[in-house]
């Protein structure tokens, strides 16, 4: 979608679009919508041509879908297919964009900061670098529930001091929900300590420990690719993961994308920022409803809509138009 096309659409004043990250993928995603709207397949063809892979086949068959280097371009393409469909159906452009981890790249494509072709190349490389940064089985991630953020950070610090390797708070997803990542043995140690302190700990089925110090070597290599990629400031502000703020220049934007590989995803602060800006409605632009469900917990978010099926996108289109006063 061109910048001019976006500029012609009245931006919704109380709505933000959220783009999910890795873990939201599912076999057969968007199959129903693709039968009704040819633009879905067209977007997948455009992205597939850029990376030399049949991304639609991967999405529908599931073959190789959970390999990080495939997951990331497939998920990004899924989100952009939905974004384009939303606009084609007359949906309002939002006031803000934000994406969780990988989803930040989807948000940047939606805001015309990155082309789809460049973005799928970047995230495929990102996935490859992440996969090779830590040997299979040596890294792990886990969700820690029911403890204060500061307590989780302290447990990570103590485990890192006592063991070989490191473990960090990777994703601040919501109050009382922090994902940790790092050396497998140290992740296990923090999980045990969390349970002993009346928290809950759930191991996550991932092959890569994202957003932790172990990803610094990958970030250094990825920065080179970012420097060679054409990037502009988005025409709709994108709230970035590492600082819960919108970049004011391209250098800052690139720096935040590099740091995102090894620093925490500040999703709790991102959602608080959106609330502080008067956002009352959010649309999750990708498969599933993980981010929509997190948003529903927040006091100032009146409605949160997933849009990955025809009925869901129709409901969201109408509800946002009514909420923004465009139709009675």
| Co-location of 179 and 126 in the same domain | no
Q: Tens of pLDDT along 202-234?
A: 999 888 999 999 999 999 999 999 999 999 999
Predicted pLDDT at 136: 86
Whether the predicted pLDDT of 269 surpasses 90 = yes
pLDDT band at 312 (very low <50, low <70, confident <90, very high): very high
My answer on whether 278 and 195 are in the same domain is no
Q: Which tokens belong to 240?
A: 């970035």
C-alpha 48/C-alpha 19 separation (Å) is 20
Is the domain of 180 the same as that of 225? Answer: no
Mind listing the pLDDT tens digit for each residue in 19-36?
999 989 999 999 999 999
pLDDT in tens, 126-140: 999 999 999 988 999
pLDDT in tens, 73-88: 999 999 999 999 999 9
pLDDT of residue 326: 77
Contact yes or no for 317/91 (Cβ under 8 A) = yes
> Residues 6 or more apart from 13 whose CB is under 8 A from it?
95, 278, 324
Query: Is position 211 annotated as part of the catalytic site?
Result: yes
pLDDT of residue 1: 46
CATH number of the domain that residue 196 is part of:
3.30.70.250
- Which of these is catalytic: 160, 166, 211, 264? 211
Q: Does 5 have pLDDT greater than 60?
A: no
Q: Is 90 exposed, middle or buried (0-12, 13-18, 19+ CB in 10 A)?
A: exposed
Same domain, yes or no: 283 and 202: no
**277 and 157 inside one domain:** no
Does a structural domain hold residue 328?
no
When the pLDDT of each residue in the chain is averaged and rounded to a whole number, the result is 94
pLDDT over 80 (residue 278): yes
Is 100 an annotated catalytic residue? no
The mean per-residue pLDDT over the stretch 91-107 comes to 96
Which pLDDT value is given to residue 7? Answer: 52
Site of tokens 């004011």: 248
List 79, 101, 160, 264, catalytic entry: 101
Pairing of the two strands 238-239 and 139-145? unpaired
In the chain, pLDDT over 90 holds for what percent of residues? 90
Residue 328, pLDDT score: 59
Query: Residue 102: what pLDDT?
Result: 97
Residue 40 has pLDDT above 60, yes or no: yes
What is the distance of C-alpha 94 from the center of its chain?
Answer: 17
Residue 6 pLDDT level (bands cut at 50, 70, 90) = low
Asked if pLDDT for residue 3 goes beyond 50, the answer is no
Same domain, yes or no: 156 and 219: no
Q: Which domain holds residue 248?
A: 3-133+214-323
Residue 279 in this model has a pLDDT that exceeds 80: yes
**Cα(152)–Cα(141) distance, integer angstroms:** 13
* Domain C-terminal end among 186, 206, 226: 206
Name the domain count of the chain.
2
Whether residue 277 sits in one domain with residue 196: no
pLDDT score recorded for residue 4: 45
- Considering the domain architecture, whether residues 144 and 196 belong to the same structural domain is answered as yes
Question: Are 104 and 51 contained in the same domain?
Answer: yes
What is the per-residue pLDDT for 12? 75
């Amino acid at each position: 979608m061109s910048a001019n096309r976006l500029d012609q659409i009245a931006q919704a004043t109380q709505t933000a679009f959220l783009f999910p990250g890795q873990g939201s993928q599912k076999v057969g995603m968007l199959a129903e919508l693709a039968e009704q709207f040819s633009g879905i397949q067209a977007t997948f063809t455009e992205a597939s041509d850029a990376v030399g892979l049949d991304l639609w086949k991967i999405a529908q068959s599931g073959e190789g879908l959970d390999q990080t280097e495939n997951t990331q371009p497939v998920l990004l393409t899924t989100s952009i297919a939905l974004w384009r469909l939303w606009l084609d159906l007359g949906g309002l452009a939002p006031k803000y964009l934000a994406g969780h981890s990988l989803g930040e790249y989807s948000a940047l494509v939606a805001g015309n900061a990155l082309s789809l072709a460049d973005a799928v190349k970047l995230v495929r490389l990102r996935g490859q670098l992440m996969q090779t940064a830590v040997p299979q089985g040596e890294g792990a991630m886990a969700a820690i529930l029911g403890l204060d953020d500061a307590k989780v950070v302290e447990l990570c610090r103590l485990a890192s001091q006592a063991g070989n390797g490191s473990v960090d708070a990777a994703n601040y997803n919501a109050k009382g929900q922090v994902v940790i990542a790092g050396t497998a043995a140290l992740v296990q140690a923090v999980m045990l300590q969390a349970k002993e302190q009346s928290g809950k700990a759930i191991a996550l089925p991932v092959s890569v420990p994202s957003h932790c110090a172990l990803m610094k070597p990958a970030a250094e290599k990825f920065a080179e690719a970012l420097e060679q990629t054409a990037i502009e400031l988005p025409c709709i502000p994108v709230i970035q993961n590492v600082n819960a703020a919108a970049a004011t220049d391209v250098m800052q934007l690139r720096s935040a994308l590099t740091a995102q590989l090894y620093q925490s995803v500040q999703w709790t602060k991102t959602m608080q920022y959106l609330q502080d800006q008067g956002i009352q409605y959010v649309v999750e632009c990708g498969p599933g409803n993980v981010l929509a469900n997190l948003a529903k917990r927040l006091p100032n978010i009146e409605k949160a809509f997933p849009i990955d099926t025809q009925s869901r996108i129709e409901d969201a289109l109408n509800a946002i138009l009514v909420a923004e006063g465009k139709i009675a």
